[in-house]
Structure formats: structure tokens, C-alpha cells
Amino acid sequence: MPVRNALEALTMRPMRFLLSSWPWRSLAYLAGGALIGFATILATVALLAAGVVLSVLVIGVAGYLATVLSGVAVGRLERRRMRLVDRDALPDPHRHPGAPGLRAWLTCRLREQATWRELGYTMISALVLCWMDAAVVYAAVVVPGSLLFAPIYLYGETTLSVTVPMALLTPFALAVGAYPVTAWAGARAAMARALLAPRSDDSDAKLVELSRSRARLVDAFEVERRRIERDLHDGAQQRLVALSMQLGLARLELSDGSPAAVQVAAAQQLAKETLAELRELIRGVHPKVLTDRGLAAAVGDAAGHAPVPVDLDLRLVGRLPDPVEMTAYFVVVEALANVAKHSGASRAAVSAGMRAGRLVLDVRDDGRGGADPGRGTGLTGLADRVAAIDGTVALSSPPGGPTLLHVELPCGS
Amino acid sequence: MRVVIAEDGLIVREGIAGMLRHFGHEVVAAVGDAPALLAAVAAHRPDVVVTDVRMPPGYGDEGLQAAIALRAADPDLPVLVLSQYVEQTYAAELLDSGRSAGVGYLLKDRIGDVAEFVDALERVAAGRTVVDPEVVRQLLGRRRDPLGRLTPREREVLGLMAEGRSNTAIARTLVVSEAAVAKHIGSLLAKLDLPPDGDDHRRVRAVLAYLRG
């Protein structure tokens, strides 16, 4: 297994570890940490002092603000520096401000938890960690250094018979020191990672962005469906109606029962069947009544088309957002299709209502139950559609029935 | 009859006009959108209006809205609405509009049955109600419980009544005597607790209102 960070490096075989770059990188990391810590102390003291001095003026706030935001800079530097001792890059926990300009950036940063965690990290590293870094680096450098240079600076005080063996011990001191240095660097990086890594609540913004892009995709499909529906309506459907009408007019000219009349009647029948099929197809692509009259009307009509009698209890007032109506409609259509296909039910019931800003849909039937989302694609497709707008699906279908499909769709904008 | 036609598809519009002329009716205006329909009706005072549901500018339900508006302005104006999709919702809105004059709601496909279509239009112009069998089928499918008490024959008769057929037409369709039809109607109205009514139009309304629940 490849070694990913300083702590894992400690488990390497000693010779490989000592000859690897990990101890040196750890040392560099800690030295950097110490320097940044001291710089932070100086900067913070200066900024706070400036804040106190300037607080008579309003611009004193700027000093405090800068102190708070120094954490952002330190955090950013830390995440880069950490690559020295950790191969896994740490993603930026901050959101994109959403608007250009300093004001938007400030508002965004000050509202983020990540900013305050970074400030906390900066304070801890300035007050505690950098001193420890310094101590470790100091020990790691001074002990081998003093051994190595003992023959020089102890020249005259002690005999070479003592100092030369001391100098020869330097590699051992380095080898022994490499372990605590690397261990401390690894531990410190782990601490930094814990504080500076994005958390799930930071990534909310990214999740929102992600589901927005998914919602955009759903919208794009929706637009495309409408376009297809209109094209079919204005094109094929009109022509088929016209064709059927022309054939009807032709029949008027032919004497009843003549071979030509029979042929024309057959042709007209074909045109009618094609129209009926096309109509069903278009209904599946995009139901007109949904756009025109909303969910309650569309569900009512869908229930009218269902082969199983359906009891409706729709408590819906006004219109819901388009994606919600569309999804809810397809849930009902798909569920009723499943009822007709698989359940053997003699009747079904659809209820819909708003609860705490969510559209709650229940489709139940008195059939044999045992619906299995794993078997057909119907229920999975339904769940996918619902998930695309962050809704939830629950299914209860014990063998022997009854089956209840419970769907909740958030209606927030 | 003097007819105003509103339909945005040129082929279908001209087809309907040609067909009506063939049957000796006068097409006083054939227009392609809802505002033009309202203007044409105001200008020509036709005996009956035929309109498509979906028309420019919005390609929504402008035709239906225009029909409802026309009937609100003149409750006695007979209007036949054609639709690519027959939905109860639209049918209900249309049937609730106007007073008692003829009103019809048919699937556009029915134009192909030329003679029947012209007959339906004439019935609407004569003040009767015509409802597409598809709508009736949907309505019959919706309410099962009390309908279950009807015999299959009575259900057939109920369906034809809901489409707006007269006793004579029902008798002809089912190939039975008018007396038998009258007997079925009396029986099914009693089972559904609907008042017996000699007036076809009021009877259709009652049946549809019942079916719509």
C-alpha cells in the first residue's frame, strides 16, 4: 500500500523510512508551521492594536475584521502546506461568494462556519502549536547539530577521543529524531485536517449547487418534452386529422358497399387508430391539462383514464412549481399503471395535500401487494424522478396487500 | 346554418369548411386564433360556432376560453368545441358555461366521420348537448358503486344519454324500440335517484352532473 501521509510513513520499514523524504518533509512542515505561527502572532497583535487604536474611528472595525479573516489566509496556506506531509489534497471548505465584489465576499465568509473554524485553528496554532513545532524542530536540529560539531566547538575543552565519537553518533541521533519529528508532523497535520477540511454543512452549498444542476437537467427534459408535444400536435396530429377527414369526404362520394368504399373505410379506420395511439403517446410525453389546469385536474383526468376505478381526495389549492406538478403527476400515472398491471386490485385511491410546505401524495390499492422495486423499472424510475427534485418515496406492500405508495415532494422555490 | 370556424391548422380548417359547405351550410368566417374568433362572432352573429381548444397565440386552451367567454356574453350561442385530447376537466368547464343553448365537446378525430360530425354540429345548433363518447367512458369509469346496480343495457343507455342522444337516436343505435329505451331510462334514472325529465337537454345535464359527482 502506498504511504499517504506522515503517520502512515511511521509504519514503513525503518531503513526505507529513514531514507525516504518523509522525515525531511515533516521537518520542513514543522519549521514552516513555527514561522507562520510567529508571523500570525505578530500580525494579530498588530491588527488588534490597530483596531483598539482606531476604534475611536469607525475604521477600527477593519482591524478586527482583518483579524478574523486572517484565519482564512492561514487556512488557505495551511491546506497547501499540508501537501508536504499528506498526499491527499484538502478541498477548500469555502463557498463561492455568488456575486463579485468585496462586500459579497465578506458577507459570504463571515457567515460560514469554515471561516470560524479557520480562525480557531489560527489561534490554536499561534498560541500552542507553533511553540511546540519550534521546540520539536529545535530539538531535531540542535541535538544532531551539537553532536556533529562537537569536535569543533568543544575543541580544547574535551579531548577528541570523546568528541569524535560524539560526531559519529550524529546519524543515530538523526535516525532517532526522525521518528518524533514525523510523528508530531503527522499528528499536527491530522489536527489541521480535522479543523480545515470541509464538513457536510459546508458542502451544503455544493450539494445545493449539485441538485440545482440536476434540477436544471430535469427542467431541460421538461422543456424538450413540451417541444416534442407541440411538434406532434401541430404536425403529425393535424395531418392525421386532415387525412381522416379527406377519407371521410371521399367515402361520401362512393356508393356504400362498393369495393372502393370498403378500402377507404379501412384506410380511415387505420388513420383513426393511429390518431388514438398518437394521442396516448402525447399524453405520456406531456399532458396538456397539467400545464393548463394544474395537478388536481390532471390527476383527475389520469384517474379517468385508469382501467381500475380510482377514488380521489385531492386537497390542492392553486398551482405548485412546475417540476413538482410534473413529478407528482408522473408518480400518480406510474403508480396507477402499476396498480392496473400488477396488483390485481379492484380499486385504487389517490390522495394529495400540502403538509408543512411539502406535497404529500398517497396512492393505495386493495390488490395482492408484494410490489418489489427491484423487479420492475417502474418503481425505480418513479423513485429517480422523485429524487431529482429532492423528494422521498416510501412503499409498503406486504404480500397479500394492500399496497401504499407514499411520496413527499418539497415545494420550496 | 351560418357557421363560424376557428382552427389554427390550415388543412383542417379548410377541410371543415369544405365539408360543411358540402352539406349545404354557410361558413361565414374561418379564422385561425381566439381573438379573431371573438371578432368574427361579433361581426357575423352565426347560428353555431366550431372551435379548436388549442390555438395561437399561447397554444394553451385559448379556444376553450373563447368558447366560454362567448357563451358568457351570449348564453344562447351554440358552440361545438373540438379537442385533440378529451379531458373531463375541459368538458366540465364547457358544460357549466352558458344557459341552455346547445353545447358540444368532441374529440377532433370525430371530424373524420363526416356525416356524424355534421349531425352532431346540427344537434348543437338545435340547442342540444353533445358529449364525446370518450368523455362519457371516462366518467362512467370513475363512479362504480351506484352504477353497479344498473344492468349492462341500462349502462349502455346511460352512456348514450350522456353523449346527448335523443331517445330516437338511442333506439336506433341499440336497435330496440323507443318504448324499450324509455323504459330503460325510467328505470336507470330511478336507480340513480335522478328526476325523470322529458327535456333531453336538462336530462343530459342531470346525467352528466351525476357522473361528474
User: What CA–CA distance (Å, rounded) separates A3 from A395?
Assistant: 46
> Taking the CA atoms of chain A, what radius of gyration do you get in angstroms?
37
The type of residue at B53 is V
pLDDT of residue B20: 93
Closest residue of A to B55, CA-based?
A234
Sign of torsion over alpha carbons B66, A229, B88, A327: negative
Residue A325 DSSP class: H
Q: Are residues A128 and A184 in the same domain?
A: yes
**Are the C-beta atoms of A362 and A334 separated by less than 8 Å?**
no
For residue A340, tell me if it sits in a domain.
yes
State which of A159, A174, A202 marks the end of a domain.
A202
Asked if B22 reaches chain A (Cβ–Cβ under 8 Å), the answer is: yes
Mean pLDDT across chain A: 83
Q: Is residue A312 part of a domain?
A: yes
- DSSP state for residue A201 in the 8-state scheme: T
Q: What is the pLDDT of residue A212?
A: 65
Query: How confident is the prediction along chain B (213 residues), in pLDDT tens digits per residue?
Result: 999 999 988 888 998 999 999 899 999 999 999 999 999 999 999 999 999 988 887 778 889 999 999 998 888 899 999 988 777 778 888 887 766 668 899 998 889 888 889 999 999 999 888 888 888 887 776 665 677 778 888 888 888 888 888 888 889 988 999 899 888 888 888 887 777 766 666 677 777 777 766
The answer to whether residues A235 and A315 belong to one domain is no
Query: DSSP assignment of A57-110, as one string?
Result: STTHHHHHHHHHHHHHHHHHHHHHHGGGTBSSPPPP-PPP-SS-SHHHHHHHHH
Query: Helix (H, G, I), strand (E, B), or coil: what is residue B101?
Result: coil
Report the distance separating Cα A349 and Cα A347, nearest Å.
7
With contact defined as beta carbons under 8 Å apart, do A336 and A306 qualify?
yes
Say if A239 is an interface residue toward chain B (CB within 8 Å): yes
What ipTM was predicted for this assembly? 0.82
Evaluate whether residue A1 is within a structural domain. Answer: no
Confidence bin at A209 (pLDDT 50/70/90): low
- Residue B82 has a pLDDT of 92
In this structure, of A84-93, A111-120, A247-256, B128-137, the range with the lowest mean pLDDT score is A84-93
Q: Is A194 on the interface with B (CB under 8 A)?
A: no
Domain shared by A384 and A268, yes or no: no
Looking at the structure, tell me whether residues A43 and A118 fall in a common domain: yes
Please give, rounded to a whole number of angstroms, the shortest distance from the CA of B164 to a CA of chain A: 20
pLDDT value at position B58?
79
Judging contacts by C-beta atoms under 8 Å, the chain B residues touching residue A272 are 109, 112
Could you say which of A285, A304, A332 is where a domain stops?
A285
Shared domain check, A197 and A213: no
Q: Which residues of chain A lie closer than 8 angstroms to B90, CB-CB?
A: 289
A359-380 confidence digits (pLDDT tens): 999 998 888 887 777 666 577 7
Residues A181 and A76 in one domain: yes
Last residue of a domain, one of A223, A252, A285: A285
- Please tell me the distance in Å from B109's CA to the nearest CA on chain A: 6
Q: Are strands A358-365 and A403-410 parallel, antiparallel or unpaired?
A: antiparallel
pLDDT number for residue B143? 60
Mutate to test the interface with B, among A288, A305, A311, A313 (most CBs of B within 10 A): A288
Q: What is the mean pLDDT of residues A119-138?
A: 88
Of the candidates B29, B195, B143, B82, the one whose C-alpha atom is nearest the C-alpha of residue A309 is B143
> Residue A124 falls within a domain, yes or no?
yes
Q: CA-nearest residue of chain B to A294?
A: B89
Q: Is B57 on the interface with A (CB under 8 A)?
A: no
Q: Is the pLDDT of residue A73 over 90?
A: no
The answer to whether residue A143 scores a pLDDT higher than 60 is yes
Nearest residue to A3 (alpha-carbon basis) of A91, A89, A88, A90: A88
pLDDT tens readout for residues B4-26 = 999 988 888 998 999 999 899 99
Q: pLDDT value at position A201?
A: 60
CA distance A50 to B151: 96
One domain, residues A176 and A47: yes
Q: What is the DSSP letter of B60?
A: S
CA A304 to chain centre: 40
Statement to judge: residues A304 and A396 lie in one domain: yes
- The order of strands in the sheet holding B129-131 is B26-31, B2-6, B48-52, B79-83, B103-107, B129-131
List the grid coordinates of B100. Answer: 341552455
Domain co-membership, A306 together with A362: yes
The CATH number given to B136-212 is 1.10.10.10
Q: Does B35 touch chain A (CB under 8 A)?
A: no
Mean pLDDT of A221-235: 82
Contact A251 B85 (CB under 8 A): no
pLDDT at site B46:
95
Q: What is the CATH number of the domain that holds A383?
A: 3.30.565.10
- Predicted local confidence at residue B3, as pLDDT: 95
> A67 and A184: one domain?
yes
Q: What's the CA dihedral at A146, A149, A153, A155 to 10 degrees? A: 130
Which region among A95-104, A109-118, A128-137 has the lowest average model confidence (pLDDT)?
A: A95-104
**Nearest chain B alpha carbon to A227:** B59
pLDDT range class, residue A200, cuts 50, 70, 90: low
Q: Are residues A165 and A233 in the same domain?
A: no
Please compute the mean of the pLDDT values over residues A390-394 and round it to a whole number: 86
Of A246, A288, A309, the CB nearest to B85: A288
Residue B80 is predicted with a pLDDT of 94
pLDDT reading at A81 higher than 70: yes
B115 with A281: CB under 8 angstroms? no
Residues A21 and A99 in one domain: yes
Contact A241, A411 (CB under 8 A): no
User: CATH number of the domain at B2-131, please?
Assistant: 3.40.50.2300
In a domain, residue A77? The reply is yes
Is pLDDT of A397 > 60? yes
pLDDT digits (tens, 9 = 90+) for A154-179: 777 777 787 788 888 888 888 888 88
The residue segments making up the domain with residue A318 are: 289-410
Whether the predicted model's global pTM rises above the 0.90 cut:
no
Number of domains in chain A: 3
User: Of B12, B19, B138, which is closest to A305 when you measure between CB atoms?
Assistant: B138
CA angle A347, A349, A354 (to 5 degrees): 175
